[in-house]
């Protein structure tokens, strides 16, 4: 491509020549009118995006929210299997963040996901305390539940905890 060298201010000279060809005030009206129209369009797009973000925040707030388990207790050793308290509801997943086993002074408590079997073991309390989970490491799908088995327990066994409830339809977004 063969280019002719231009003076550094060639662009400005061309603009000045084009404006000189128009009647006084015409260029200003054209620029102002076009600018006002573009600003109006930009404001409408911004407002639509703002309303869309507000709707999306409301949808997410209804679909993803913190949840605390109601404390569930038994006297002495045994199994706590309460799907309505310790399980994910229909249409929701449950991301367990913390589990608490309290009230006992001896023994251990095993935490299982879905049933009592070695491959379903998710944690063990060797004394009263907490187990913390993060990053969807203990995720219950709709209908799944936790079971707690107390062995050699002295005193009462009380289970509680916290989770993030996630509407199943929003699970992919939550995990990303």
Picking from 45, 61, 77, the residue at the C-terminal end of a domain is 61
159 belongs to a structural domain: yes
For residues 41 and 76, state if they share a domain: no
Q: Is residue 27's pLDDT more than 60?
A: no
Q: How confident is the model at residue 29 (pLDDT cuts 50, 70, 90)?
A: very low
Q: Is residue 143's pLDDT more than 80?
A: yes
d(CA 139, CA 113): 9
d(CA 75, CA 71): 13
Q: Is residue 138's pLDDT more than 80?
A: yes
For residues 145 and 163, state if they share a domain: yes
* Structure-model confidence comparison of residues 125 and 49, the more confident one: 125
Q: How many domains does the chain have?
A: 2
For residues 113 and 133, state if they share a domain: yes
Q: How confident is the model at residue 162 (pLDDT cuts 50, 70, 90)?
A: very high
136 belongs to a structural domain: yes
d(CA 169, CA 165): 12
Domain around 38: 10-61
* Structure-model confidence comparison of residues 34 and 50, the more confident one: 50
Of 1-5, 38-42, 76-80, 105-109, give the lowest mean pLDDT range: 1-5
The residues with which 111 forms a beta bridge, in sequence order, are 123, 148
Contacts of 158 (CB under 8 A, 6+ apart): 71, 72, 73, 100, 101, 102, 103
Model-level pTM? 0.68
Phi, psi of 93 (to 5 degrees): -110, 160
Helix (H) or strand (E) holding 20: helix 10-20
> Using CA of residue 157, residue 163, residue 166, residue 167, what is the dihedral sign?
positive
pLDDT of residue 1: 54
Q: Is residue 35's pLDDT more than 80?
A: no
Q: Is residue 31's pLDDT more than 70?
A: no
Q: How confident is the model at residue 4 (pLDDT cuts 50, 70, 90)?
A: low
- Going through 1-145 in order, the beta strands assigned E by DSSP cover 64-75, 78-80, 92-113, 121-125, 129-132, 139-140
pLDDT of residue 46: 80
Q: How confident is the model at residue 52 (pLDDT cuts 50, 70, 90)?
A: confident
Q: Is residue 121's pLDDT more than 80?
A: yes
Q: Is residue 81's pLDDT more than 70?
A: yes
């Amino acid at each position: 491509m063969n280019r002719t060298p231009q003076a550094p201010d060639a662009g400005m000279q061309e603009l000045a020549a084009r404006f000189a060809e128009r009647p006084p005030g015409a260029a200003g009206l054209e620029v102002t009118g076009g600018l006002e129209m573009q600003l109006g369009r930009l404001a409408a797009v911004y407002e639509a995006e703002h309303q869309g973000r507000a709707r999306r925040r409301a949808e997410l707030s209804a679909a993803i929210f913190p949840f605390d388990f109601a404390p569930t207790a038994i006297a002495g050793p045994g199994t706590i299997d309460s799907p309505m308290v310790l399980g994910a509801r229909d249409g929701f997943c449950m991301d367990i963040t913390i589990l608490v086993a309290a009230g006992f002074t001896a023994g251990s408590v095993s935490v299982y996901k879905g049933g009592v079997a070695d491959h379903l073991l998710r944690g063990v309390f060797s004394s009263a305390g907490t187990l913390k989970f993060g990053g969807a490491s203990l995720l219950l799908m709709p209908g799944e539940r936790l079971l707690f088995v107390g062995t050699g327990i002295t005193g009462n066994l009380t289970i509680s905890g916290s989770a993030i409830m996630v509407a199943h339809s929003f699970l992919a977004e939550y995990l990303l």
